[in-house]
């Protein structure tokens, strides 16, 4: 797979993890999930998507999109910190328990798929 295709796929997976996190959170608080009009989901997801975009730039994620240690860790940290800062700046909630849950979910999702991908690639004798 070409690195450009891998980067596009990795960015899409990251966005999917973030949107899923946002939809689950909205659903668990009776605010609607994927079935709402989309504006609520977008309001919840955009700070984290923006944080992830910053993380991709910081990590230069397109050079190693599936690298769990470099790209995954930086994208996760930037998504969490940037997302929480943007939520606070726009008057959205940033309770300690939410930060902990978000950190765990986003870490498992954003770093986790990269760890699995690397393990599969290694098992197949490919460069992760």
What are the domain boundaries of the chain?
Answer: 3-123
Burial environment of residue 112 by CB neighbours within 10 A (0 to 12, 13 to 18, 19 or more): middle
d(CA 114, CA 22): 20
As a whole number, mean pLDDT of residues 64-93 equals: 95
Q: What pLDDT, on a 0 to 100 scale, did the predictor assign at position 48?
A: 98
Residues 6+ apart with CB under 8 A from 16: none
| Residues 22/15, Cβ–Cβ less than 8 Å | no
As a whole number, mean pLDDT of residues 109-117 equals: 95
Question: Whole-number mean pLDDT of the chain?
Answer: 89
pLDDT band with cut points at 50, 70 and 90 for residue 31:
low
Does the pLDDT at position 35 exceed 90? no
44-74 per-position pLDDT tens digit:
999 999 999 999 999 999 999 999 999 999 9
């Amino acid at each position: 797979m070409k690195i450009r295709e891998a980067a596009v796929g990795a960015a899409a997976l990251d966005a999917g993890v973030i949107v899923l996190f946002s939809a689950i959170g909205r659903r668990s608080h009776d605010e609607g999930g994927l079935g709402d009009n989309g504006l609520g989901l977008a309001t919840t997801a955009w700070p984290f998507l923006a944080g992830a975009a910053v993380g991709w730039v910081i990590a230069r994620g397109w050079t190693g999109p599936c690298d769990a240690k470099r790209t995954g860790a930086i994208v996760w940290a930037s998504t969490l910190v940037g997302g929480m800062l943007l939520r606070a700046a726009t008057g959205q909630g940033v309770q300690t328990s939410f930060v902990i849950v978000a950190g765990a979910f986003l870490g498992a999702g954003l770093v986790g798929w990269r760890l699995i991908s690397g393990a599969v690639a290694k098992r197949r004798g490919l460069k992760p």
